[in-house]
Structure 1
Amino acid sequence: MAENAEEGGLVFHPMDQFIIKPLFGGDISWYTPTNAALWMGFAVIAVILLMVVGSSKRAVVPSRGQSVAELAYGFVYKMVEDICGKEGLKYFPYIMTLFMFIVCANFLGLIPTAFTPTSHFAVTVLLALAVFLTVTILGFVKNGAGFLSLFWVSSAPLALRPILAIIELISYFVRPVSHSIRLAGNVMAGHAVIKVFAGFAVITLVSPVSVVAITAMYGLEVLVSFIQAYVFTILTCVYLKDALHPHH
């Protein structure tokens, strides 16, 4: 966390926690089990335990696990219905899976010594590209060439429409970039700040201040972990709405 440098100062390495390492040593190849793969697996298991095992009994008086599962289900269901309408509910399972995976990965990453896979662009870019390709293909399947009306702002003056079409086209292809960077950047920044404060905690004079700061940052990161999963999901719903109803 912090170590003495040769010149007598302190050197912090807040980014070491994001290094991908093989679980069994050796070089990393595409088939090598890594800490990132391990914690993504834990996130999948957590989703299954919460949503499948936790709600399997379906009691009239729900248990804590069933209550959390029902709350998450209702929260995402309402989000999809409000943004995409009744037509978007058929895609609810995909959006629910996205939300639960991201929020579980974020929360598991707050465990000390854990690895946070959503802090890596390789993970968030893949999630964002999956959303981008899904809504784009769906847009053309549902609307045919009419999906291109998404880029044609018919309410604008005719002279401005070609310029706006170019801007809309560029912004559309930037979507997966902003979608992925927003999630990974916020998660990485929060964890790095916590690591920095934890490094300062070894210094006696500022240790009490560091402990308070770590506690505050940790509480903030719990909130950020949920908010970033919510933001990623709600943007997915907005993009899905554009695919279902592309007309301006």
Structure 2
Amino acid sequence: MGKIFFYAALALALVAGVVFAPEHAALAIHPMDQFIVTPLFGGDHISWYTPTNVTLWMGLAVVAVFALLVLGSSRRAIVPSRAQSVAELAYGFIYKMVEDVAGKDGVKFFPYIMTLFMFIVMANFLGLLPMSFTTTSHIAVTAVLAALVFFTVTIVGFVKNGAGFLGLFWVSSAPLPLRPILAIIELISYFVRPVSHSIRLAGNVMAGHAVLKVFAGFAAALGAFSFLPIFAITAVYALEVLVAFIQAYVFTILTCVYLKDALHPSH
């Protein structure tokens, strides 16, 4: 019975798409327009110093982090407020992650990792607001975050271990003839880290927002049958809320893994 209902709804949606198809360009669906970078104060030219919508929403993400972690927990009440509870939960969650993954030596980097997580998760959640801009959907933003992680763990690895950090690329447990080949593979995978680190976050966030925009376009085009894509929008939006947290978590835990390799490079 459930399958019959599903196929009937799908058929109605297809028929409605033909009957109520948009004839005007105003109803055309352009899911990638929401990612266009525009200057805040008009004009078309963008220089490195030009304030843009990316600048604005990154600044709002920083303000949101400050409001939650500093203002929200400033009273330090025995019976915490909601903001203080969320701040304490985030603090404990990330601290435990750093300690479990990177070890006791990695705890000294907790402020940096906590800052990364809070900025990404706030930027992701702010991007779910109507008429907002999702900064983490741009590879330019996520690539900078990933590059900072890459250079940080590399510098830490050489400072703490010296030439011993190169042991990360030498798989001593493998048979000797295979070790040079594995070393090349390990070296390539190491330098690919910032690429995968940045694309994973930007790609997942961009894909989800594009899907929402497509379904919203369907809702505008289907007229009387707009309730069908609205159900899909609700489901995808709920998924996007989950993705907003998961992608921040994945970026952060990978940072902890890379930090662990830098602190303890031997295989």
Give the TM-score category using the shorter length: over 0.9
Paired residue for 1:38? 56
- 2:244 aligned with 1:199, yes or no? no
- 2:67 aligned with 1:67, yes or no? no
State the distance in 2 between where 1:3 and 1:122 align.
35
1:57-100 per-position Cα deviation (integer Å, ceiling 9, x unaligned): 10000000000000000000000000011110000000000000
1:13-71 per-position Cα deviation (integer Å, ceiling 9, x unaligned): 00000000000012111110000000000000000000000001100000000000000
User: 149, 159, 165: which is aligned to 1:147?
Assistant: 165
1:3–1:12 CA contact under 8 A, matched in 2 = no
RCO higher in structure (CA 8 A, sep ≥6):
2
State the distance in 2 between where 1:196 and 1:38 align.
25
- 2:36 aligned with 1:19, yes or no? yes
Paired residue for 1:228? 247
User: 162, 175, 180: which is aligned to 2:193?
Assistant: 175
Larger mean CA deviation between 200-209 and 12-21 belongs to: 200-209
Unmatched segments (≥5 aa) in structure 2: 1-20
Cα shift at 1:204:
1.7
Cα shift at 1:11:
2.6
Cα shift at 1:143:
0.2
Name the SS for the 1:55 alignment partner: coil
State the distance in 2 between where 1:19 and 1:112 align.
16
Q: Which amino acid aligns with 2:186?
A: E
Cα shift at 1:3:
6.8
1:187-228 per-position Cα deviation (integer Å, ceiling 9, x unaligned): 000000000000111122431111100000000000000000
State the distance in 2 between where 1:21 and 1:219 align.
28
Cα shift at 1:10:
5.4
Any runs of at least 4 consecutive aligned residues in structure 1 with deviations exceeding 2 A, and if so which? Answer: 2-6
State the distance in 1 between where 2:23 and 2:106 align.
56
Paired residue for 2:259? 240
TM-score if structure 2 supplies the norm length? 0.90
Unmatched segments (≥5 aa) in structure 1: none
1:200–1:206 CA contact under 8 A, matched in 2 = no
Q: Which amino acid aligns with 2:203?
A: G
Paired residue for 1:212? 231
State the distance in 1 between where 2:227 and 2:190 align.
48
Larger Rg, first or second structure (1 or 2): 2
State the distance in 2 between where 1:28 and 1:129 align.
23
Paired residue for 1:134? 152
Q: 1:76 to 1:175 in 2, by over 3 A?
A: same
| Percent identity (aligned) | 77
TM-score if structure 1 supplies the norm length? 0.96
State the distance in 1 between where 2:219 and 2:22 align.
12
Name the SS for the 2:28 alignment partner: strand
State the distance in 2 between where 1:205 and 1:177 align.
45
Name the SS for the 1:25 alignment partner: coil
Cα shift at 1:4:
4.3
State the distance in 2 between where 1:205 and 1:230 align.
40
Paired residue for 2:4? none
Cα shift at 1:229:
0.1
State the distance in 1 between where 2:201 and 2:176 align.
37
Map 1:46-125 onto structure 2 (within 5 A).
46-125=64-143
Name the SS for the 2:226 alignment partner: helix
